[in-house]
Amino acid sequence: MELSCKSEYAILALIEMATHYESGEPMQIRQIAAQQNIPDRYLEQLLATLRRGGIVKSQRGSKGGYFLTKEPWKITLFDVLECLEGSDVRVCEDDTNPKSIDTSVIKEIWQEARQAANSVLQNYTLQDLCEKRDSRRQLDIMYYI
């Protein structure tokens, strides 16, 4: 299991939006892209997907932009990845008749790994990521003093 570039960029954008959530102001694509080093055009596509998935909403006009649909502590990483990557990826479509005992064992282990990964992703919210980032920044500042 690997974090795709698409998912990483989307999570970075959402962290940026979570950081500014309290202001209540929508963030423009160019703001988010500049802060997180994400190509504008790619970010535009990612935010459109997240909008369709109900993670963010957009506001048109001169003061327009994107903002989170829920509080950062209510949006889990699982929600984000499910929106971007879709539901569970199957090892093989033919789940009814395993070809061998070996295949059956592999499928069971893969299912267990997926469940464990999903459990971890469901336990972390955007707020958790912001707090981890902030605590690491604090440690970094203290290191240089």
Q: Quick: pLDDT tens for 26-73.
A: 999 999 999 999 999 999 999 999 999 999 999 998 888 999 999 999
Residue 4 pLDDT exceeds 80: yes
Contact 10, 50 (CB under 8 A): yes
The encoded tokens of residue 132 equal 């981890």
Residue found under tokens 């327009």: 64
Please tell me the predicted confidence (pLDDT) of residue 85.
87
Residue found under tokens 């295949």: 103
* Residue of higher predicted confidence among 144 and 87: 87
Element (H, E) at 83: helix 77-85
The encoded tokens of residue 9 equal 């960029």
Please tell me the predicted confidence (pLDDT) of residue 144.
57
Element (H, E) at 59: strand 56-59
Q: What mean pLDDT do residues 117-142 have?
A: 88
- Rounded CA-CA distance 119/70 in Å is 21
Residue 3 pLDDT exceeds 90: no
Q: What mean pLDDT do residues 21-29 have?
A: 92
Q: At what angle do helices 40-52 and 5-19 cross, to 10 degrees?
A: 80
Give me the phi and psi of 92, to 5 degrees please: -155, 140
